[in-house]
Structure 1
């Protein structure tokens, strides 16, 4: 059984933070010492706010489907699918209002009712391929 409170936090993360670009919701959903664990290093919540400003400038009309929830102790894993419209500004790819699909998983670690840590693995390479930034037939998709 998935905790309703944790599920609500994940839903707000996608529907208010991503879809609406509401960076202030981060303050409501995270602890003071929140950390986002990225491939390059760990980042504070201010980085998440800066990311969203960039994200909203590059993508719009996004729709998110939360496909699966897995809860274990103080962690909630969410597998998601998103459809976004590209409007330019990423790796010099020209704007073309192309609809792209993102898939991924997020792991939310909770401290009480709020998110203390976050990990995300997503399909950025697949999006770049869809937008024509990666050479066609350069790799196989399984």
Structure 2
């Protein structure tokens, strides 16, 4: 369900929050510490900086820092940068969002009523859970890692 860029953005933002006291951290250091490709980390950091999630400073003493407090940053805000405003609103049976399906067919798809509560619960969780929730709580970190893990269930690929 989530693109790789969204998954890595969450990991990068949580990493920056955990290392906030270190000050600016370069893209290469982030990539090295998270064991990610430096060019891909750079591509993920650009939209994060453009959207104001992180601050970017160029130059020999430059790097990236979180632009706000971790408790003020819902996970959904990060995901929407890469997935768009309609994240999780796409119909599971057809290649359109639910609103478009209704306009075209006059009704929801056959499984909409069953899926809608789960979708809303997921969106609400991503709206209310912040980066701060994943800083010191090992159980939350394991939960997020299981969602983001590349080898995990296909529901998030």
Return the TM-score normalized by structure 1: 0.29
The structure with more helix, counted as a fraction of residues: 2
Question: Normalized against structure 2, the TM-score is what?
Answer: 0.27
Report the structure, 1 or 2, having the larger strand content: 1
Larger Rg: 2
